[in-house]
Structure 1
Amino acid sequence: MRSEPKRRVKFRIIFIWTGFYLALLVISLRIYQLQVLEANRLKAKAEQQYFKVQPIKYPRGTLYDRNLEELAVNRRVYSVYALPQQLEDISATVSQLSPILNIDRYTLRKKLNSEKKIVWLAQRINQEQGERVMSLKLKGIEAISEDLRFYPGANLASQTLGFMGIEGIGVEGEGKEGLEYLYDKELRGQAVSMKVMKDGRKKVMMVMKSEENYKQAGSIILTLDRTVQHIAEEALKEAVNKYNARRGCLIAVEPRTGRVLALALYPNYDLNHYSKAETEIRKNWALTDPFEPGSTFKVFVVAGGIEEGLITVNDRFDCENGIYQVGDEDVIRDMRKFNILSVREILTYSSNIGAVKIAEKLGREKLYKYIMDFGFGEKTGIDFPTESKGIVHHYKKWYPLTFRTIAFGQGISVSALQMVMALSAIANDGILMKPYLAERIVYPDGEEKVINQPTMVRRVISPETAKTLTELMMEVVSPKGTGYLAQIPGYKVAGKTGTAQKPKSNGKGYEPGKWVCSFMGFVPAEEPKLAMIVVIDEPKVDYATGGMIAAPVFQTVAKYTLTAMGTLPELSPAGSIAVIPKGKIFTRNSNGIADSLPDAGKTPDFRGMSLKSALKLTLSLGQKPVFEGSGWVIEQEPLPGSDLTGRVILRMSRDRI
């Protein structure tokens, strides 16, 4: 009997130890399972809880003009929201926020009393407002900061720069049009993420370096000159409004490099409020909309004839007293009745019949060859999202009348850019260049990358022919020529006028009373620094010609551009911009006219001046003006009376002070 209790005790001990060892075995197996078999899965799960991948958002690159003046920048903005359930004192919150957010107290209180978990109070307010809100440290009031694209020039080069679309708050937009769209990848940079370690309260404990190779957003330096662009837009605006025209464009380039200094269109739109602009106005029609050029095209017909040795400048043609019969029914007319004209006079007086007879001597095939060689019928290759190649039918498809009307720029369609580049070939000793808008990209680490550089397309004509054409075009701008209003005192100008009827939309005939008036030219004629075309579409006047309407715009813009470029006059500068004696400074009187003051080396008062007046004064003082907006000067940096600096910022407004 005594052995029975011992047996039970022994059994219990064995049972307990067996259970212990079994439990230990189970635990060991579980540890093995967790530490070995499922180690990778659990490690990944832990990393998901403690390590987070946080995207890094770098500011979008800046767009600069050729002088590093800002055209498109980033501006820090804040969007303020409330968490109504966390608010402590609504009345105090209303009193402090109302004047900062410019929201009336009733509306603000109503928002703060909302039953929603989150209520937006203000979206994309400026940095000063946002920082003032955050400095209050109000419980239940939060803000999200982000960079918003801002265009200091507002309307400046709007159709060329394009814009960046606005997405949701905190969501980066994309370039939608123009250069913002074309170079979106470069301006945005490569997406990159950073791994961070967070604790249980989701606070960052450690930052792990990203192993990705990435390129930060770069800033792009354009060929555009902000001052030239501004002057061009103002001159276009004045002409379009004066003649009640549909629209106008102006392209200015360096003929020997292909750099585009200005690509101006009017009407334009405010890039900071692009959603208010109609699609038609946003289009860069100087590149996308081909038009019949009219008499400006005669230059290229004459070029072909001279290059082929078929004509000389003194060859004479019968211009049929203004009426030339082609076939049984078709008639070509001149604006004036001419009899015998030399090639020189055909261009000077812009005779249609004379140009037709030169084309007849050149022949269809050779005329077509020179049209194509000058770059018509193909895209120029400019770095822009959209471009038209124009309409140039093969010479085998030309009707007898079409062959002849092409000689004076009707029956063929070209873009304004094609025209100015073809003109530049003449200014560049017969070499056609590729135009471009973006010069190079600069990264935050100092690395630079060339995007475009001067590129020769082909030689079109010989230097001798180019020189001869230059001399002929100089006579067009002489007092007896059709382009006399393009003359610039002190400089020799070579140019050609154009006046073309607009074809009907159905392609059958021409619209009565609808014209495209243009002028193209380069200056200084013998050492060209600037080539330009001006196109005014559908001016509403009784007698519309390129010489009367477009040539004065060329004269205005070219004159100030040459001065800004530091190109000295070739001739006696009588009648040109007056040079202000060194040491004089100016301020405005009651009539807004500059008066000299005795204090030398001080900044004048530009306020109240027009663009032209301010430009004359700054250039004469050796200052580089930066214009923001349009109209009259309302603010300036540095202030009047400050030490004279090499750069002055002038903020403009259409409302005079």
Structure 2
Amino acid sequence: MKYNKRYRLMISLVVLLFVLLMGRLYYVTVIAKEDIYAKAQNQISKEIILPARRGDILDRNGAVLASTTEAYRLDADLVTFRKLLSSKGKTAESYAELIAKALGSDPAAVLAKLTADHNSIIIQRKIEKETIDRVRTLIDEEDINFLLIGYDNIRYYPNGSYLSHVLGSVNVDGSGVMGLEYYYNETLKGISGLKIAEMDKKNRELPYAPVVETKAVNGNDLVLSIDERIQYFIENLAEKAMADFEAKSISILVSDPKTGGILGMVNLPDFDPNNPWQDRTQEEFDQLTRNRAVNDAYEPGSTFKIVTFSAALEEGLVDEDDHFFCPGYIYVDGVRINCIKRDGHKDQTLGEVLKNSCNVGTILIAQKLGKETFNAYVKLYMFGQKTGIDLPGESTGIVFKTENMKNVDLATSSIGQANTVTPLQMLNALNTIASGGVMNHLHLVDESVLRDKDEVVAQENLGMKDGTRIISESTSARMLELMYQAIGANERHQAYIADIPVFGKTGTAQKIVQLEDGTMGYSDEEFISSFLGGAPYTDPKVTVLVVVDSPKGVVFGSVVAAPIFKEIILEVDQYLNLE
């Protein structure tokens, strides 16, 4: 009897277990099938971001100025890492040492990340293939399951500090933070893709597993108006001038006045965009990365006289036969304004006023214009406004409002004092005169190009736009003739070149600094020396602006900046034939 009861009990238990197993099997395979499958997939599947390749930046002839190379990133699943530590009885320090050795980095920095109070963390980005191969070997040898290798990009500037203020730089995420990299970030960056792949227990992709992938769309390339040969020459020339004159900074701009394209742009001191921070403080970084040609304003001095002269010629208020007397000074509203030649230039023609850079003669011309007309041309030439160049942070400078302008303000503004301008604005004014009186849009990028491998898919013109007429072609020709007579036909001038008909204007301006009494005023020791010109005057192909901040020893633009201009023209002539 006992045996039968035990037998029946055993049978009942087996039947019950079978029913429970069948029920569980039904639940797993039918009721909860989708949910369980999803959980399983989540455990073995990983979403991997496929970063888009950032577009290259090229000079006008196709030379690569900024490029992107494929790289890797290393992430850590810290939840899995903590479980591993408890199961294997190893310390975080031991893993940090191993990982740091493979990466060639600081063990303390890796340890800080491994012990962070997060579920996951980035260990390192921008890792090259040779390094990531060492990490893969480590994962295999140590049976590591908490490290995940992903894809990344490295932005590379092959020429180092060359053209740094124009190109700018990117942050660790590959987004532009300065220069063209920032201004054209949306154009350059492309659209990242996504890959869902099955992984083994060491977070390695299973080669035989199916992969769901949305490919990345690479960014557009930018083709600049910059000419690598011209840029290289003016970079070297600027470095020499910085050393020779012990200057605080130098800016040089070279452009094609007919298109508005910038052929070269240098600012010194500069920086390496591959490593712009380089152990610098925020203040040091901000100062060094400022594009002074675009971001900074200064009193231009006598280079601004080209605006006063061209306005008066355009209005028909002066001509080449007019004479102006200079005793060495002029009083305006009771304020004495001296000429550069204290005993005066005496009687002069219009051309001689420009050639002598006579303050008195220029003020007499400005008085013929009057405040309203003078300021109308200041506005037409886009002073006090952004030129619209394709770089961030452009300054407007400061000019007098007509309603607030006094007679003495008209006088000082006409000779390049009181108002402030950017180097870019001065180049823009000269370009307008040099291009037959038409203001062409200043720009650095000629076109945007989308490529699929080596094949061009799409192309967009970003550079040349319709110009705006500011002065007549006749006034333009007369101004170029006056500037040629002042420089190109003047054998005694430092910018004179025997076989090339150059034109231009010098500038020497006292800097406004903080004086000993704490007030702001003009310095007797610090000057801005500049030269603005181009060639050939009959059909200008190139224009140049040189600005030297606080040269030591000599300060006059004709001595400091004009010889730099001359060397640039001689070099460009070999390239573009300016005769």
Q: Smaller-chain TM-score range?
A: 0.7 to 0.9
Distance 1:349 1:185 in 2: 50
Q: Is the 8 A contact 2:252 2:545 kept in 1?
A: yes
User: Which residue of structure 2 aligns with residue 361 of structure 1?
Assistant: 368
- 1:23-34 matched pairs, under 5 angstroms: 34=28
Residue number among 118, 123, 126 corresponding to 2:99 in the alignment: 118
Distance 1:507 1:408 in 2: 24
Residue number among 431, 441, 450 corresponding to 2:460 in the alignment: 450
User: Which residue of structure 2 aligns with residue 400 of structure 1?
Assistant: 407
Distance 1:533-1:203 versus aligned 2 partners, 3 A rule: closer
Residue number among 66, 69, 72 corresponding to 2:66 in the alignment: 72
Residue number among 556, 562, 574 corresponding to 2:567 in the alignment: 556
Distance 1:19-1:270 versus aligned 2 partners, 3 A rule: closer
- 1:406-485 matched pairs, under 5 angstroms: 406-445=413-452, 446-450=456-460, 452-478=462-488, 480=490, 484-485=493-494
Instruction: Give 1:33 shift.
Output: 5.2
Q: Is the 8 A contact 2:322 2:349 kept in 1?
A: yes
- 1:111-510 matched pairs, under 5 angstroms: 116=97, 118-121=99-102, 122-123=104-105, 140=141, 147-165=153-171, 167=172, 172-198=173-199, 203-204=205-206, 205-211=208-214, 215-276=217-278, 278-279=284-285, 280-319=287-326, 321-336=327-342, 337-445=344-452, 446-450=456-460, 452-478=462-488, 480=490, 484-505=493-514, 508-510=520-522
Between 384-393 and 329-338, report the one with greater CA deviation.
Answer: 329-338
- 1:605-624 matched pairs, under 5 angstroms: none
Residue number among 61, 65, 78 corresponding to 2:55 in the alignment: 61
**Partner secondary structure for residue 360 of structure 1:** helix
Distance 1:18-1:240 versus aligned 2 partners, 3 A rule: closer
Instruction: Give 1:307 shift.
Output: 0.8
Q: Which amino acid aligns with 2:230?
A: V
Residue number among 495, 517, 540 corresponding to 2:529 in the alignment: 517
Distance 1:25 1:243 in 2: 96
Distance 2:139 2:192 in 1: 34
Q: Is the 8 A contact 2:176 2:182 kept in 1?
A: yes
Distance 1:432-1:260 versus aligned 2 partners, 3 A rule: same
Distance 1:130 1:389 in 2: 48
Distance 1:348-1:203 versus aligned 2 partners, 3 A rule: closer
Q: Is structure 2 residue 541 aligned with structure 1 residue 538?
A: no
Q: Which runs of 5+ in 2 are unaligned?
A: 75-92, 106-124
Q: Is the 8 A contact 1:295 1:497 kept in 2?
A: yes
Instruction: Give 1:539 shift.
Output: 1.0
Q: Which runs of 5+ in 1 are unaligned?
A: 81-111, 571-657
Q: Which amino acid aligns with 1:518?
A: S
Instruction: Give 1:369 shift.
Output: 0.6
Q: Using CA pairs under 8 Å that are at least 6 residues apart, name the structure with larger relative contact order, 1 or 2.
A: 2
Q: Is the 8 A contact 1:334 1:353 kept in 2?
A: no
1:441-478 alpha-carbon deviations (Å, 9 max, x no partner): 33341323326121235211011111111111101113
1:109-156 alpha-carbon deviations (Å, 9 max, x no partner): xxx998855333525999797599799999749997965333222221
Distance 1:286-1:125 versus aligned 2 partners, 3 A rule: closer
Report percent identity of matched pairs.
Answer: 29
Between 329-338 and 401-410, report the one with greater CA deviation.
Answer: 329-338
Distance 1:466-1:448 versus aligned 2 partners, 3 A rule: same
1:339-384 alpha-carbon deviations (Å, 9 max, x no partner): 2222111111111111111110011011001001011111111111
CA RMSD in angstroms, aligned pairs only: 3.7
Q: Is the 8 A contact 2:480 2:503 kept in 1?
A: yes
Distance 1:223 1:384 in 2: 13
1:154-184 alpha-carbon deviations (Å, 9 max, x no partner): 221122212233x4xxxx4433322223333
Distance 1:48-1:273 versus aligned 2 partners, 3 A rule: closer
Q: Which amino acid aligns with 2:220?
A: G
Q: Is the 8 A contact 2:71 2:153 kept in 1?
A: yes
Distance 2:542 2:223 in 1: 20
Instruction: Give 1:538 shift.
Output: 0.9
1:80-119 alpha-carbon deviations (Å, 9 max, x no partner): 9xxxxxxxxxxxxxxxxxxxxxxxxxxxxxxx99885533
Q: Is the 8 A contact 1:349 1:481 kept in 2?
A: no
Distance 1:127 1:199 in 2: 23
**Partner secondary structure for residue 196 of structure 2:** strand
Question: If the length of structure 1 is used for normalisation, what is the TM-score?
Answer: 0.71
Question: If the length of structure 2 is used for normalisation, what is the TM-score?
Answer: 0.80
Between 435-444 and 200-209, report the one with greater CA deviation.
Answer: 200-209
Distance 1:252 1:460 in 2: 21
1:269-319 alpha-carbon deviations (Å, 9 max, x no partner): 333342236321221111111000011111111111111111112211222
Distance 2:177 2:40 in 1: 41
Distance 2:30 2:467 in 1: 68
- Equivalent residues, number: 520
Q: Which amino acid aligns with 1:553?
A: I
Distance 1:18 1:138 in 2: 48
Q: Is the 8 A contact 1:71 1:153 kept in 2?
A: yes
Distance 1:365 1:440 in 2: 40
Distance 1:211-1:153 versus aligned 2 partners, 3 A rule: closer
Q: Is the 8 A contact 1:79 1:130 kept in 2?
A: no
Instruction: Give 1:44 shift.
Output: 2.7
**Partner secondary structure for residue 440 of structure 1:** strand
Distance 1:33-1:499 versus aligned 2 partners, 3 A rule: same
Instruction: Give 1:196 shift.
Output: 2.0
Distance 1:139-1:439 versus aligned 2 partners, 3 A rule: same
Q: Is the 8 A contact 1:475 1:481 kept in 2?
A: no
1:490-542 alpha-carbon deviations (Å, 9 max, x no partner): 2211111111111234774311121111111121211211111000111112x
Q: Is the 8 A contact 2:340 2:359 kept in 1?
A: yes
